[in-house]
Amino acid sequence: MDRVIIVGGGLAGVRVAEALRARGHEGALTLVGAEPHRPYDRPPLSKAVLMGRTDDTTVDADWSGLRCELLLGHRATGLRLEDERGGAVETTAGELPFDGLVIATGASPIRLPGDGPQDVLRTIDDARALRDGFREGARVTLVGAGWIGAEVATAAARAGCAVTVVEAADTPLEGAVGPEIGACTAPWYGEAGVELRCGVRVAAVESGGLALAGGEWIDADEVVVGVGVRPEVGWLAGSGLDLDDGVVVDASLRTSRPEIVAVGDCAAWWSARYGRRLRVEHWDTALNAPEVAAAALLGEESTYDPVPYFWSEQFGRMVQYAGHHQDAERLVMRGDPGKAGWAACWLSGTRLEAIVTVNRPRDLVQARRIMTAGTAVDPDAVADPEVPIRNAVRT
């Protein structure tokens, strides 16, 4: 390939650049990124950056060694494909012809109706601005008790703000881990001095606060909205590429055009493991899928089909999740959710489908290995927190 363009300057973008060079791509390489910053890690934004422990999360990359041209602060606005192969990316820096294209444009936060100021947390600039607004006594209202909402609430409470979290579902994290496990995390809010209000819908964000669907009003100095993200694929509309909740790609992360791959938060890939398309907004995917995307672009055979993994640090706890529980037959608790450390496993028969752990990293590591291998487990042993999960494997 003579000229590869990477669109998107997040973790997935930089990792693809590295993987392409490591696999012997000698042609030109250009990365176009809408943000003015070099690629950086996002997970610390809602943790160490908000807490003031660090201000810089730039990914360590040898840009000159990579021979990768960086067009930062420039945005792709459209894609024009030639009939057979290749085409051009339309950008704010002009048209960039390519014979290989990597789509790594991530996802963008969903905003709520209303013309009052609402903050979101996606970029390092968002994180710095939020941190500056978290002053002792400030009334901070968060909309959404998902992963990001819980982490932002943790930081705001630590900064001495008066924090209220408003959630439309009946429990926190309901969309991510279901109502039973979500309910186990609800007491954490009160313990941290955060008011949690579930089953409450927001009508609009207005100047000075939130208008709720029932007519009630909540005063707020800062409104932070964490109600999820959408894949950032608007610039691909009309290009001919298949878009369906992200860029549709196969098990090798190729689009319908072999010279175009998509990776990271914006890619919906085919998982043979789960027999469905997955789009996973997790750091682990942005870190590891680029190897496969680069291989696919260079015409090598490789597939991406991991057990998805995610972690979150909230209210002084390390919460980790691996697997995919949506089709599981039952949920088995592993320990007492009232205690400092516990876990829960989703099972179908003797198959371990997913696990969530709270302060039990070993359980996570062992369960992830079992799920990757697809080994059968003894459900009674899984339910016993005294038995290491690896010993629950049926021989």
Determine if 281 is a binding residue for ligand FAD (CB under 6 A).
yes
Determine if 235 is a binding residue for ligand FAD (CB under 6 A).
yes
In degrees and rounded to multiples of 5, residue 211 shows phi and psi of -95, 120
Q: What length is written for the chain?
A: 395
Please pick, from the candidates 18, 222, 232, 363, the single residue that binds ligand FAD as defined by CB under 6 A: 232
Between 41 and 332, name the residue whose CB sits nearer to ligand FAD.
41
Where does residue 147 fall: left (phi above 0), alpha (psi -120 to 50 degrees), or beta otherwise?
alpha
Determine if 264 is a binding residue for ligand FAD (CB under 6 A).
yes
- DSSP bridge pairs for 47: none
Token representation of residue 16: 């693809």
Determine if 105 is a binding residue for ligand FAD (CB under 6 A).
yes
Q: Applying CB under 6 A, which part among 98-106, 333-341, 343-351, 366-374 lies near ligand FAD?
A: 98-106
Determine if 107 is a binding residue for ligand FAD (CB under 6 A).
yes
Determine if 70 is a binding residue for ligand FAD (CB under 6 A).
no
Query: Could you give the count of Cα atoms lying within 13 Å of 160 in the half-sphere of its Cβ?
Result: 4
Strands 139-143 and 162-167: parallel
Determine if 10 is a binding residue for ligand FAD (CB under 6 A).
yes
Between 13 and 87, name the residue whose CB sits nearer to ligand FAD.
13
By the 8 A CB rule, do 91 and 22 touch?
no
Between 86 and 226, name the residue whose CB sits nearer to ligand FAD.
226
Angstrom distance (rounded) from CA 284 to CA 267: 14
Determine if 283 is a binding residue for ligand FAD (CB under 6 A).
yes
Please pick, from the candidates 103, 121, 210, 253, the single residue that binds ligand FAD as defined by CB under 6 A: 121
Determine if 8 is a binding residue for ligand FAD (CB under 6 A).
yes
Please pick, from the candidates 203, 212, 230, 311, the single residue that binds ligand FAD as defined by CB under 6 A: 311
Q: How far is the CB of 280 from ligand FAD (least distance, A)?
A: 8
Determine if 33 is a binding residue for ligand FAD (CB under 6 A).
yes
Site string for ligand FAD, 144-163 (x = CB under 6 A): ----x---------------
Please pick, from the candidates 4, 5, 13, 141, the single residue that binds ligand FAD as defined by CB under 6 A: 13
Angstrom distance (rounded) from CA 8 to CA 180: 37
Q: How far is the CB of 178 from ligand FAD (least distance, A)?
A: 19
Q: Applying CB under 6 A, which part among 30-38, 53-61, 163-171, 214-222 lies near ligand FAD?
A: 30-38
Angstrom distance (rounded) from CA 347 to CA 336: 18
Please pick, from the candidates 25, 42, 131, 254, the single residue that binds ligand FAD as defined by CB under 6 A: 42
In degrees and rounded to multiples of 5, residue 320 shows phi and psi of -130, 150
Please pick, from the candidates 17, 29, 34, 262, the single residue that binds ligand FAD as defined by CB under 6 A: 34
What distance, in Å, lies between the first and last C-alpha atoms of the chain?
49
Angstrom distance (rounded) from CA 106 to CA 111: 16
Between 104 and 218, name the residue whose CB sits nearer to ligand FAD.
104
Q: Where are the alpha helices (DSSP H) in 159-237?
A: 174-191
- The rounded radius of gyration (Å) of the Cα atoms in the chain is 22
Counting beta carbons within 10 angstroms of the beta carbon of residue 373, is it exposed (0 to 12), middle (13 to 18) or buried (19 or more)? exposed
Q: Applying CB under 6 A, which part among 105-113, 350-358, 361-369, 374-382 lies near ligand FAD?
A: 105-113
Angstrom distance (rounded) from CA 256 to CA 27: 23
Q: Is the four-CA dihedral 16, 8, 147, 329 of positive or negative sign? A: negative
Q: Applying CB under 6 A, which part among 7-15, 300-308, 361-369, 385-393 lies near ligand FAD?
A: 7-15
By the 8 A CB rule, do 54 and 29 touch?
no
Number of H helices, E strands in the chain: 8, 25
- DSSP bridge pairs for 163: 140
In the block, tokens 């691996």 appear at: 322
Determine if 104 is a binding residue for ligand FAD (CB under 6 A).
yes
Helix (H, G, I), strand (E, B) or coil at 289: helix
Q: How far is the CB of 217 from ligand FAD (least distance, A)?
A: 28
Count residues binding ligand FAD (CB under 6 A).
36
Determine if 282 is a binding residue for ligand FAD (CB under 6 A).
yes
For 53, other C-beta atoms within 10 Å of its C-beta total 9
Judged by the rule CB under 6 A, the positions of this chain that interact with ligand FAD are: 7-13, 32-35, 42-43, 45-46, 75-76, 104-107, 121-122, 148, 232, 235, 264-265, 281-284, 286, 310-312
